[in-house]
A and B are shown apart, each in its own frame.
Chain A
């Protein structure tokens, strides 16, 4: 086995828990979806455990660990919703805590320790539920309209404001990707 590659595996495996998904895939935070896929393919060609099938068990195990993290990174970054939430979470002061995607942790952080406010008025509640359904169906344009309506009903509701900002971000990213292919 190539000593340089062996060295790279040992080093990479040892610092894996300190790297974010962009660093693991060796891409910029602004990368297009196609670049993310390309990076995943390229890195897999090097680190997939099948490429070390006949190497000693400890090397194979290290490659296995690296690939699992690569796949995890790809899985999160190739999903727009997860990518937006993840990118935001690693930008803060608590960066270290969020290096691996955990939806529960992110939800907590976004609410800033506060509980989700599902609305205080009947119409506010209704529009917010409709927005949530649209988000589940990945229909962000109607989610945006429903959130705007909900926010009009309850201008002071922090949850509505936060969700609206999130949806805006996702729509922006989608537009960008259409341009980028």
Chain B
């Protein structure tokens, strides 16, 4: 039977895993790394680099090195103005959508993600000695419909059929509880490079029920790095009256140093940040050199950690549970390795996190378990996940009319009958939103569609519109004329996404000119 891989497509790092002999296992990439940096570089002679090699050349080639692409997935250009400021590569607008400009060539975020996926796909193929065509890919629980669609598109461009999109904290819970016959309520604290999720689950043997989930789309390990970068830049500004953040190379070097310092402070109480010749002005080279200690860093990021606890409060409240009723705490994501975070989370939950879980690999392991559960569907684990955000439509006064409440188990559907308010009204426009705010303008627009209605007296036509959220958390809309029982599919005009035709075109392009996409058996494994 063909193997299906599980992929954790992260903001900072990505991981691929498979289930082998009933046990999930992470597959190392070509360079032997178990995690692959989610970085794509385009070298000076036009070669495409992915992973560690791409990351390594980032300092010398910042404008042609793309990282944190996950922050741009499925988003409109107008939504990412803050994100653009923090990356050294060029981001442009194309018809309201986001494009990355590398040497004059435009790439959509799913295309960049596809390059990372292709590398992971190849790693799995080299290991297995056969072609891999199908995958389960994870996303933050708090990803909305557009972001999930973009992730699915990335998989397709990479030549992978995406059998399922699952939520990262749910995947982690699966990896923790799979095959252990547990009866527990657990909390999964998932702080990734770019996003924060908290999920509360109940495990009943092989059934994993998500009771509630909450998240912050704009909070991750990168924000901790940014605090250090800001500190460096401000310190430098005070000493030399020069702004390092306006210079691409300097920004990239500071980013690199901040990440190293953060990791260093996990092991040591003190670290030295030394960047000689960070900037040259009027023929004079300036150095950045200082020492940072763990306590001071802790104070700098205190409010970021507190922000995660607000989200935890919300999730617990929605689950009608208190911390005392949580049996186990699982920590996920590279940043949770920081002692300042571990200590704070421990005291919030009054609990030691489970120690035998690798926060960087656990999500991919869960994805691999889910992949195999779909193949051998009768046995295996069963995930009962929920939708993280309420789904609704716009009504008079920009008010949001919620059709499907958040934390509703998925797949789910809700129908609503629409009619006309004027005689011979040609149609009705329906705008779909996701979010918890009262006014639609404060929620995420998913798109809109028009229903054509045959000429009739007002109030006479009856069009039943069904909003469905599938097991991937993706929204589908269908309409049916109640009188004639004629069904029609409705194209939700997805914002910031790619059309089916575009995906197909990109798929051909990427597999045509890419040597990585075509599988060559490699029997020698390192």
CB neighbours (8 Å) of A38 from chain B are 204
CB neighbours (8 Å) of A44 from chain B are 207, 382, 384
CB neighbours (8 Å) of B207 from chain A are 41, 44-45
Which of B204, B374, B412 contacts A50, CB < 8 Å?
Answer: B374
Which of A50, A68, A72, A74 contacts B373, CB < 8 Å?
Answer: A50
| Interface pair B471/A50, CB less than 8 Å apart | yes
| Interface pair A49/B382, CB less than 8 Å apart | no
Chain A positions 85-118 with a Cβ under 8 Å from a chain B Cβ: none
Q: What is the minimal beta-carbon distance from A63 to any residue of chain B, in angstroms?
A: 10
CB neighbours (8 Å) of B409 from chain A are 71, 74-75
Q: What is the minimal beta-carbon distance from B232 to any residue of chain A, in angstroms?
A: 46
Q: How far is the CA of A53 from the CA of B375 in the complex (A)?
A: 7
Chain A positions 12-48 with a Cβ under 8 Å from a chain B Cβ: 37-38, 41, 44-45, 48
The verdict on B447 contacting chain A, using a C-beta distance below 8 Å, is no
The verdict on A120 contacting chain B, using a C-beta distance below 8 Å, is no
Q: How far is the CA of A49 from the CA of B377 in the complex (A)?
A: 9
1/0 per residue, CB under 8 A from A, across B205-244: the answer is 0110100000000000000000000000000000000000
The verdict on B347 contacting chain A, using a C-beta distance below 8 Å, is no
CB neighbours (8 Å) of A64 from chain B are 411
The verdict on A67 contacting chain B, using a C-beta distance below 8 Å, is yes
Number of A-B contacts (CB under 8 A): 47
The verdict on B408 contacting chain A, using a C-beta distance below 8 Å, is yes
| Interface pair B377/A45, CB less than 8 Å apart | no
| Interface pair A50/B383, CB less than 8 Å apart | yes
| Interface pair B384/A45, CB less than 8 Å apart | no
The verdict on B378 contacting chain A, using a C-beta distance below 8 Å, is yes
1/0 per residue, CB under 8 A from A, across B474-494: the answer is 000000000000000000000
Closest to B376 in A: A54
CB neighbours (8 Å) of A50 from chain B are 373-374, 377, 382-383, 471
CB neighbours (8 Å) of B412 from chain A are 68, 71-72
1/0 per residue, CB under 8 A from A, across B397-411: the answer is 000000000001111
Chain B positions 175-218 with a Cβ under 8 Å from a chain A Cβ: 202, 204, 206-207, 209
Q: What is the minimal beta-carbon distance from B334 to any residue of chain A, in angstroms?
A: 30
| Interface pair B377/A51, CB less than 8 Å apart | yes
The verdict on B413 contacting chain A, using a C-beta distance below 8 Å, is yes
CB neighbours (8 Å) of B384 from chain A are 44, 48, 71
| Interface pair A53/B377, CB less than 8 Å apart | yes
CB neighbours (8 Å) of A67 from chain B are 411
Q: What is the minimal beta-carbon distance from A110 to any residue of chain B, in angstroms?
A: 21
Closest to B373 in A: A50
Q: How far is the CA of A53 from the CA of B202 in the complex (A)?
A: 23
**Chain A: how many interface residues by the 8 Å CB criterion?**
19
Closest to B202 in A: A37
CB neighbours (8 Å) of A52 from chain B are 377
Q: What is the minimal beta-carbon distance from B223 to any residue of chain A, in angstroms?
A: 33
Q: What is the minimal beta-carbon distance from A69 to any residue of chain B, in angstroms?
A: 10
Q: How far is the CA of A53 from the CA of B209 in the complex (A)?
A: 19
Q: What is the minimal beta-carbon distance from A163 to any residue of chain B, in angstroms?
A: 23
Chain B positions 398-430 with a Cβ under 8 Å from a chain A Cβ: 408-413
Q: How far is the CA of A38 from the CA of B411 in the complex (A)?
A: 19
Closest to A54 in B: B377
Closest to B415 in A: A100
| Interface pair A54/B382, CB less than 8 Å apart | no
| Interface pair B382/A51, CB less than 8 Å apart | yes
Q: How far is the CA of A49 from the CA of B411 in the complex (A)?
A: 9
Q: How far is the CA of A59 from the CA of B202 in the complex (A)?
A: 28
CB neighbours (8 Å) of A68 from chain B are 411-413
| Interface pair A48/B382, CB less than 8 Å apart | yes
CB neighbours (8 Å) of A53 from chain B are 374-375, 377
CB neighbours (8 Å) of A49 from chain B are 411, 471
Closest to B207 in A: A41
Chain B positions 237-292 with a Cβ under 8 Å from a chain A Cβ: none
Given contacts A50-B382, A51-B382, contact A41 B374 (CB under 8 A): no
Closest to B377 in A: A53
Q: How far is the CA of A85 from the CA of B68 in the complex (A)?
A: 48
CB neighbours (8 Å) of A71 from chain B are 384, 408-412
Q: How far is the CA of A117 from the CA of B412 in the complex (A)?
A: 35
CB neighbours (8 Å) of B377 from chain A are 50-54
Q: What is the minimal beta-carbon distance from B302 to any residue of chain A, in angstroms?
A: 30
Q: How far is the CA of A47 from the CA of B411 in the complex (A)?
A: 12
Given contacts A41-B204, A45-B206, contact A51 B408 (CB under 8 A): no
Q: How far is the CA of A52 from the CA of B471 in the complex (A)?
A: 13
CB neighbours (8 Å) of B204 from chain A are 37-38, 41
Q: How far is the CA of A50 from the CA of B383 in the complex (A)?
A: 9
CB neighbours (8 Å) of B378 from chain A are 51
Q: What is the minimal beta-carbon distance from B415 to any residue of chain A, in angstroms?
A: 10
Q: How far is the CA of A23 from the CA of B382 in the complex (A)?
A: 23
Q: How far is the CA of A52 from the CA of B378 in the complex (A)?
A: 7
Q: How far is the CA of A64 from the CA of B410 in the complex (A)?
A: 10
CB neighbours (8 Å) of A51 from chain B are 377-378, 382
Q: How far is the CA of A67 from the CA of B471 in the complex (A)?
A: 11
| Interface pair B411/A54, CB less than 8 Å apart | no
Closest to B413 in A: A68
Closest to B469 in A: A68
Given contacts A50-B377, A50-B382, contact A41 B471 (CB under 8 A): no
Q: How far is the CA of A44 from the CA of B202 in the complex (A)?
A: 14
Q: What is the minimal beta-carbon distance from B363 to any residue of chain A, in angstroms?
A: 19
Q: How far is the CA of A48 from the CA of B381 in the complex (A)?
A: 11
1/0 per residue, CB under 8 A from B, across A55-93: the answer is 000000000100110011011000000000000000000
Chain B positions 351-392 with a Cβ under 8 Å from a chain A Cβ: 373-375, 377-378, 382-384
A45-B207, A50-B471, A54-B377 are known; give 10 further A-B pairs, CB within 8 A.
A37-B202, A37-B209, A48-B382, A49-B471, A50-B382, A51-B378, A67-B411, A68-B411, A71-B384, A71-B408
Q: B-contacting residues of A (Cβ < 8 Å)?
A: 37-38, 41, 44-45, 48-54, 64, 67-68, 71-72, 74-75
- 9 residue pairs, one from A and one from B, having the closest CB atoms: A71-B409, A53-B377, A41-B207, A53-B374, A41-B204, A51-B377, A48-B382, A54-B377, A68-B412
30 residue pairs of the A-B complex, CB under 8 angstroms, read A37-B209, A38-B204, A41-B207, A44-B384, A45-B207, A45-B382, A48-B384, A49-B411, A49-B471, A50-B373, A50-B374, A50-B382, A50-B383, A50-B471, A51-B377, A51-B378, A51-B382, A53-B374, A53-B377, A54-B375, A64-B411, A68-B412, A71-B384, A71-B408, A71-B410, A71-B411, A72-B412, A74-B409, A75-B408, A75-B409
